[in-house]
Amino acid sequence: MHPDHNRAVLPGKTLEYAEASVPRWLLAGGALPLLIPAGTQARAYARDLDALVLQGGADVAPETYGETALHPDWAGDPIRDRYELDLLQAFLDQGKPVLGICRGCQLLNVALGGTLYQDLATQIPRSRTHRDAAKYDRLHHRVHLLPHSRLGRLYPQIEFARINSIHHQAIKALGTGLVVEARSQPDDVIEAIRLRGAHYVQGIQWHPEFVTPRHRALLPSAPLLLAFLRAVAHHRGKLMSGVERDLRAR
């Protein structure tokens, strides 16, 4: 959050933060999440850390993918874009696992040369509602996990599921080397992507960190977390059996 003298909390200061559900979700799998400050040496962090999670938040700025904002409210945050793109490129260069959530999924697409719909309701009028401020993460819709995809293998008994939806932007042109893993129903908006090859680079448009065991109607988040942490463990050459047992028991 950039300096804002009208803000009640720390007016005029830059705030760097993580929404608590993201680190708690990672902690549940045995990971130790660290917040990477802006303005630091991205390559040093990529060398010393095991993986990167790009969380949700402000719109990706249209200027970041070569467009002009169609509305002032959709101008996004180019400063955050540059900070996260530097981190993403550094982790990609190191061949380390990357998971992009919501904005993180969109940024991954842009980093690899793709573009975004700045506003689904405007640019795809036939699309279903993907964001409702009043409902927030209680807005749910159907998603199709494409057969033979990485997500399809994670959820072998589930082809259609329900997910939360908190976005008004989405992938338009797919970035180089990316493949589609899931689409919303019935409008076919892209909901998940991955990078081709053995390297674990996954983007998902929904928020798995908001899904708990009490959300029985939603796609469970544990398989996604386990797959990410397995990729991290594989990169480190460590075993995950104890963590997997604990998570599956939840």
First to last CA, the chain: 34
Q: Using CA atoms, how far apart are residues 48 and 30, in angstroms rounded to an integer? A: 18
- Print the domain residue range for 30: 21-248
Q: Which of 5, 167, 209, 234 is catalytic?
A: 209
**CA neighbor of 228 nearest in space, from 99, 46, 56:** 99
168: in domain: yes
Q: Which of 19, 144, 207, 235 is catalytic?
A: 207
pLDDT given for residue 136 in this prediction: 95
* Bridging pattern class, strands 170-171 and 116-117: antiparallel
Is the dihedral angle over the CA atoms 60, 64, 65, 71 positive or is it negative? positive
pLDDT given for residue 245 in this prediction: 63
5: in domain: no
pLDDT given for residue 248 in this prediction: 65
160: in domain: yes
Question: Domain count of the chain?
Answer: 1
CATH code of the domain in which 106 resides: 3.40.50.880
pLDDT given for residue 237 in this prediction: 83
16: in domain: no
pLDDT given for residue 192 in this prediction: 98
7: in domain: no
13: in domain: no
Contacts 24+ apart (CB under 8 A), 147-151: 149/179, 149/180, 149/181, 149/182, 149/192, 149/194, 150/181, 150/194, 150/202, 150/227, 151/181, 151/182, 151/192, 151/224
15: in domain: no
pLDDT given for residue 235 in this prediction: 87
Catalytic annotation present for 102: yes
DSSP for 44-107, written as a single string: HHHHHSS-EEE---SPPPGGGGT---SSGGG---HHHHHHHHHHHHHHHHHT--EEEETHHHHH
Q: Which of 2, 71, 102, 244 is catalytic?
A: 102
pLDDT given for residue 244 in this prediction: 65
1: in domain: no
Mean pLDDT by 10 residues, the chain (250 residues): 93 92 95 92 95 97 98 96 97 97 98 98 95 96 95 95 98 98 97 94 98 93 96 82 62
In this prediction the pTM is 0.93
